[in-house]
């Protein structure tokens, strides 16, 4: 396995589009990194640069300490799994798994018959080992058309594993699968990384997938790494509003306003409401702000619960039952909030409710720059 290092890498395409700007990142040997961000943020370009399918415009890219800026793909010892499985339809699973290594071996100069027979036995053993690892033993002699979508993608993954590359590159390999297969293969990928102890770089637009899989997450936007760190760290302490709004599901709720002084202390005032906030927030008075609150930090207030000023009257616009939890979309004028309740609710569409926010877990962002000023409790 190998570490991957980007040093101030830029990628500008001939049409002038800048896909990466001054991009620096150290990926450790054996680490599972997930690149996540909206479409067009540069995450797939990053993967293609590692694979050698694109060359950097400037900066330095290293794999295993070796500069690979202009090295062809076949000399980089990486394996890429694409969004679509790209299997050979006329070959069985067994031959699809072995294809890459067999093609490489065909140009090997040592073509002594005895050595080739030994190599074939070793290749077959590798194919069986990988098939067992990915639970494909029962379908080794089937062709791709006879497999489910999840099995096809596991074969594509297995073809990469058989090669034993230094780095695995996974370009949204789960995105076209249905939710059940996606969850199943996501779990297998996680277990696979633990068994192989491999360097894996996984691209996705799904923040839930990033949260579940990653040792570290890189949140990207417009060719820049906005924040890098463990998933929970980014979820709890996003560095700016963009990261806070993208990373997490449901997305963070935002209220635009400012800190004002009231009769009983400080308030966060918006066009629709005024909510009491801790005195420490006075340090942020005098500037436009955005208050961020996660859906799980909202709750429906019981009658007479908490100070009257802390309860916000809203109307239920939508109720979505998720089994053990309920998502509730709430509106008050132009303000819309989503609350996640860890229970089934009997509240109906159109019903009036009162909402309380856990301000000890609130986030505060500069209204102009979007930079985080406060992320929940100080600890």
Peptide bond into 250 cis (omega under 30): yes
pLDDT at site 110: 46
Burial of 62 (0-12, 13-18, 19+ CB in 10 A): middle
Q: Find where tokens 């996540």 sit.
A: 36
66 band by pLDDT with thresholds 50, 70 and 90: very high
Domain residue spans of the chain = 4-241, 250-375
DSSP code per residue over 169-215: EEESTTTTS-HHHHHHHHHHHHHHHHHHT-EEEEEES-HHHHHHH-S
Which distant-in-sequence residues (6+ apart) come within 8 Å of 104 by Cβ? none
Q: How much is the average pLDDT of 47-66?
A: 96
Class of domain 4-241: alpha beta
Please, what CATH class does the domain formed by 250-375 belong to?
mainly beta
The proportion of the chain whose per-residue pLDDT surpasses 70, expressed as a percent, equals 93
How many other β-carbons are positioned within 10 Å of the β-carbon of residue 171?
20
pLDDT in tens, 140-174: 999 999 998 888 888 988 888 888 889 999 998 88
Sign of the dihedral defined by the CA atoms of residues 284, 285, 288, 294, in that order: positive
Residue 378: its pLDDT value, please?
Answer: 46
Q: Helix, strand or coil for residue 14?
A: coil
> Is the model's pLDDT at 109 over the cut of 80?
no
**DSSP secondary structure of 143-156:** -GGGS-HHHHHHHH
Q: What is the structure's pLDDT at 370?
A: 96
The conformational region for residue 86 under phi > 0 = left, psi -120 to 50 = alpha, else beta, is left
The whole model's pTM is what?
0.87
What is the average pLDDT score of the chain?
Answer: 88
Strands 78-81 and 167-171: parallel
Grouping H, G, I as helix, E, B as strand and the rest as coil, residue 279 is helix
Query: Would you state the pLDDT for residue 69?
Result: 95
Q: How is residue 272 annotated by DSSP?
A: S
Residue 174, pLDDT score: 83
């Amino acid at each position: 396995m190998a570490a991957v290092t980007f040093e101030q890498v830029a990628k500008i395409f001939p049409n002038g589009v800048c896909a990466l700007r001054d991009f620096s990142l150290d990926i450790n040997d054996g680490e599972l990194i997930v690149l996540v961000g909206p479409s067009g943020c540069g995450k797939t370009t990053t993967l293609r640069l590692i694979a050698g399918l694109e060359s950097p415009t400037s900066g330095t890219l290293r794999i295993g300490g070796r500069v690979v800026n202009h090295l062809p793909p076949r000399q980089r010892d990486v394996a890429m799994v694409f969004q679509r499985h790209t299997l050979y339809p006329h070959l069985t699973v067994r031959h699809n798994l072995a294809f890459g290594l067999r093609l490489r071996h065909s140009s090997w100069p040592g073509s002594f018959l005895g050595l080739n027979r030994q190599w074939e036995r070793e290749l077959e053993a590798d194919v069986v080992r990988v098939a067992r690892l990915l639970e494909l033993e029962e379908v080794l002699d089937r062709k791709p058309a006879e497999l489910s979508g999840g099995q096809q993608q596991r074969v594509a993954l297995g073809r990469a594993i058989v090669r034993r590359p230094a780095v695995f590159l996974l370009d949204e390999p789960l995105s076209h699968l249905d939710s059940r297969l996606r969850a199943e293969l996501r779990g297998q990928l996680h277990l696979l990384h633990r068994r192989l102890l491999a360097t894996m770089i996984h691209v996705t637009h799904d923040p839930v997938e990033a949260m579940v899989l990653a040792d570290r997450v890189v949140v990207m936007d417009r060719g820049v790494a906005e924040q890098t760190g463990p998933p929970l760290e980014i979820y709890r302490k996003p560095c700016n509003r963009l990261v806070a709004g993208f990373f997490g599901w449901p997305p963070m709720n935002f209220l635009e306003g400012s800190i004002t002084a009231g009769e009983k202390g400080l308030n966060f005032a918006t066009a629709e409401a005024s909510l009491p906030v801790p005195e420490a927030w006075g340090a942020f008075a005098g500037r436009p702000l955005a208050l961020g609150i996660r859906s799980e930090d909202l709750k429906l207030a019981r009658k007479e619960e908490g100070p009257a000023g802390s309860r916000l009257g809203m109307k239920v616009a939508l109720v979505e039952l998720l089994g053990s939890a309920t998502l509730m979309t709430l509106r008050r004028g132009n303000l819309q909030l989503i609350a996640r309740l860890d229970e089934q609710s009997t509240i109906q569409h159109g019903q009036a409710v009162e909402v309380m926010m856990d301000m000890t877990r609130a986030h505060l962002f500069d209204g102009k720059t979007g930079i985080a000023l406060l992320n929940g409790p100080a600890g």
